[in-house]
Amino acid sequence: MTYTPDDLITARLMLAFDDLEPPDTLFERIRGGIAGLTLFRAYNYDNPAQLRQLTARLQHVARAAGRPPLLIAADQEGGQLTALGEGATPFAGNMALGAAGDPALARRVGQAIGRELAALGVNVNYGPVLDLATEPRNPAVGTRAFGDDPTLAATLGAAWIDGLQSAGVAATLKHFPGLGGATLDSHHALPLLDYDRERLARVELPPFRAGIAAGARLLMTGHAAVPALSGAADCPATVAGRVLHDLVRDELGFRGVTISDALDMAAITQGAGQIVEVIAALRAGVDLLLLTADEATHERLHAGLRLAHSRGLFDTTDLSAPAQRIRAVRAWVDGPPQPGLDVVGCADHRALEAELACRALTLVRNDAGLLPLRPGPETRIAAVMPQPRNLTPADTSAYLTPQLAAALRRRHPRVDEFITAHAPDDDEIAALRGRLADYDLVVLGTTAAAAQPQQAALAHAVLALGVPTVAVALRAPFDLAAYPEATTQLATYSLHRPSLDALVDALFGHFTPTGRLPVAVGDRAIV
C-alpha cells in the first residue's frame, strides 16, 4: 500500500478542542486526515444527547471527506476520573473493583462503561489504569489503580478490558511501564522510577502483560524516567526506543496502537523544545500523539512534523507500520451498531453501580463495637468532610457536591453537615473542634489525609474530643494510617453518592461489608 504524508504524519494526531461547538479549523483537520479526537468533560460535555450529536457530526465530516472513522476517545475510568458528567453512570472506579475482588464484576462494569461510551459515539476509552498503588504519596494514581497486587490488577484489568471491548470500545492500557511507584505527578515534573529489571518484571509489568493478552487495542506510554529500561535518568519512557520498541513490541509482543500520554505535561519538554520530544517519540515507536486543545500547538507541531518528514528525519518504511496499525484500529471501531441513547444511565447500570459500591465497602476496624449504629431519636450526628477537589489534573472530583450528610439523613433525621477546606488551617480546626464537642456521634470523612497534613491534623483534633467517631477514607484507604487512633474505620474508595449510600446502609446495619483492602495500609511490606 502507498501511504501519503497524511497517512504518515497527519493521521498520527489525536487533537482536542475547548468548546461544545467544534471550530472550523477542526473540521479542516478532520478532512485533512487526523486520526481522531480526545473529548474532555470540562471542554466538550454538557449532557448525553449533546455528546451523541457532537460525535455524530464529527464522524459525518470524516465520512464525507472519504476518511475512515475517527478515533473518538475519553477518560471514562470511573471513580475519580470520569469524562462523562451528569446522566452517565458514575461507577466507583478501579480501586473499588480491587476491594470487591471479583473478575466477573469487573467485566460487567467494563461492559457497562463501554455500552454507555458507544451510545455517545466514543469508541476509545483511555483505560484501564494498570499502574499499581504501591506508593501512598503518589499524587496522581490513587484510586485509579486496582490495588498494589500485580496479580489482582492483571486479573481484574483483563476482565475489564474484555467487558469494555465486547461493547465495541477500544481499551487503552496505561500508563506503561507503570507510574504507581512515583512520588511526583508527571503533569508537573518528570518522575524517576529507579527500579531494577527484576522488580519491574515482577511488579509493574504483569498487569500490562495480561492486558496485552486480553487483546487491548491501544497502549499509552507514561511520562516517567525508568533508567533500567531506557538507560537514562532524564529520558521519559515516551521517547525511549528501548521501552517502546524493544520491550513493548519485541519482548511483550504488543501489536496494537501505542499512544503517548498528553504532550502538554511538564514531564515532557514544552515550548520550543517540544517538537524535538515529539519527533523523538515517533522515532521511538509512538504511533499516536495525544495533543490537548491549544490550536497554536496543533499548528506548530503539525508543521514541524511535516518538515521533519520532508527532511528525511523519518524512514518512510518505518512509518508504514504505524499507519497500518492505526488504520486497523479505525476499522475495528467501525464494527458494531451503536446502542440507543437510553442505555446511558439506565436502570441496569445504576443497579450495577450500587452493587459495586456495596461490594467494595470495607470495614477495616470496629474495635470499640460502635457498629452497627443504633441512634435514638434525639441522637445528634455531625457529618464532616472536606470540599471535594481535584488532587491531580487527571481528576474530576471537583465536580462533586458533598453528600455525606444527605446520605446519613436517609437513615437518621438529626444530622448536621460540616464541610471543611481541603487543607483546613489551625483556626478552622479549632472552631470545628469546639462545635463538634456537643454532638453524640461524628462521621468523619477524609480525602487526602495521607498526603495533606492539615486533613490529618483535623482528624486528630476530632478524635481527641472523645466523641464516638466513625472515620472514613472517602478516596484511597491510605488515609486510615494517618489517624491510627480511630477505632472505627471504613473505606469507600469513592465520593460518588452510591458509595456514600452503601456506607450509611452498612453503618446502620442493613448489610455487612465484604470488601477487602486492595492495598497495604500502615506498616507496609516492601513489594
DSSP 478: G
Question: Is 175 an annotated catalytic residue?
Answer: no
Alpha helices, DSSP H, located in 311-394: 316-332, 347-360
In this structure, the number of other CB atoms found within 10 A of the CB of residue 298 comes to 20
Q: What is the dihedral of CA 149, 155, 157, 160, to 10 degrees?
A: -140
Q: In whole angstroms, how large is the CA radius of gyration of the chain?
A: 24
Distance (Å, whole) CA 435 – CA 335: 60
- Active site residue: 6, 102, 187, 188, which one? 187
- Active site residue: 148, 149, 162, 261, which one? 261
Distance (Å, whole) CA 321 – CA 33: 17
Distance (Å, whole) CA 270 – CA 278: 10
SS3 55: helix
Half-sphere exposure of 173 (CA within 13 A, CB side): 33
Query: Environment class of residue 188 by beta-carbon count within 10 Å: exposed (0-12), middle (13-18) or buried (19+)?
Result: middle
Question: Is 187 an annotated catalytic residue?
Answer: yes
Which strand ranges, in their side-by-side order, compose the sheet holding 381-386?
362-366, 488-491, 469-473, 441-446, 381-386, 415-420
> Per DSSP, which regions of 34-184 are E strands?
36-38, 71-74, 76-78, 81-82, 124-125, 170-176
CB-based contacts of 272, cutoff 8 Å, min separation 6 = none
Cell digits of residue 170: 477500544
For cell 512509518, the residue is 319
Q: At what angle do helices 103-119 and 150-166 cross, to 10 degrees?
A: 40
Is the peptide bond preceding residue 23 cis, with omega within 30 degrees of 0?
no
Half-sphere exposure of 251 (CA within 13 A, CB side): 15
Determine phi and psi for 360, rounding to 5 degrees: -85, -30
**Catalytically annotated residues:** 187, 261
